[in-house]
Amino acid sequence: MIARTQIIELIGAVVVVLLQVIVAPHIALLSCVPNFIVAFAMVLSVMRRRAYGCVLPFVLGLLFDFMSGGPVGVMAFSLTLVSMFASRAFLVLDNDTLFMPVIILAAGLLATELCYALFLLALGYNAGFMELFVYGVLPTFAYDLVVGIILYLIAARLLAVEEPTHHDVVQLR
């Protein structure tokens, strides 16, 4: 049986793919398009760290590769690799504050965009590293971070796990 959180994650995945296809091209700033797919995968890697696998980031990355026209498999690999590291890092560094999820989310987003850019350079993209970093990676990372924080706040509300209430008070008669 499919759990409530899995249904929410699948609906969220469909929504972010639609946002990537329909909305993202129309809200570009300085030729920088937000990457809803990467932001969503990083948010899930932070939110669902214990139950998070590599299938959803791989499928979302593959969908991004097909939609973007870039080399197939580059974003799938980058997203899978970084989301697994982000999930493990958050599992170790979690301290129940809002600071750690945002820091790990930011690091994961930057690492994914950087990994993707390095693969593009290795595959013959016609630009220098600094040019690609300054005009591609950094603006996209900033845009993704804003989208990621918004998605994190939404996911924190929707995927909140209800903890069972423990009563430590002993009743005396």
Q: Rounded mean pLDDT of the chain?
A: 86
User: For position 113, what pLDDT does the model report?
Assistant: 94
Residue 154 is assigned to a structural domain of this protein: yes
Domain tally, the chain: 1
pLDDT of residue 69: 85
Q: What is the CATH number of the domain that holds 152?
A: 1.10.1760
Q: Please check the confidence at residue 31 and state whether its pLDDT lies above 70.
A: yes
| 65 belongs to a structural domain | yes
The tens digit of pLDDT for each residue in 63-102 reads: 999 998 889 999 999 999 999 999 888 888 877 788 888 9
pLDDT at 165: 44
Residue 47 · residue 88 · CB < 8 Å: no
Q: Report pLDDT for 5.
A: 81
- Residue 15: give the domain boundaries: 4-158
Residue type, 99: F
Query: pTM for the full model?
Result: 0.85
Q: How far is CA 141 from the centre of its chain?
A: 11
pLDDT-derived band of residue 121, with 50, 70 and 90 as boundaries? very high
Whether 159 contacts 47, CB under 8 Å: yes
Residue 134, CA distances (Å) to 124, 130, 153 in order:
18, 6, 28
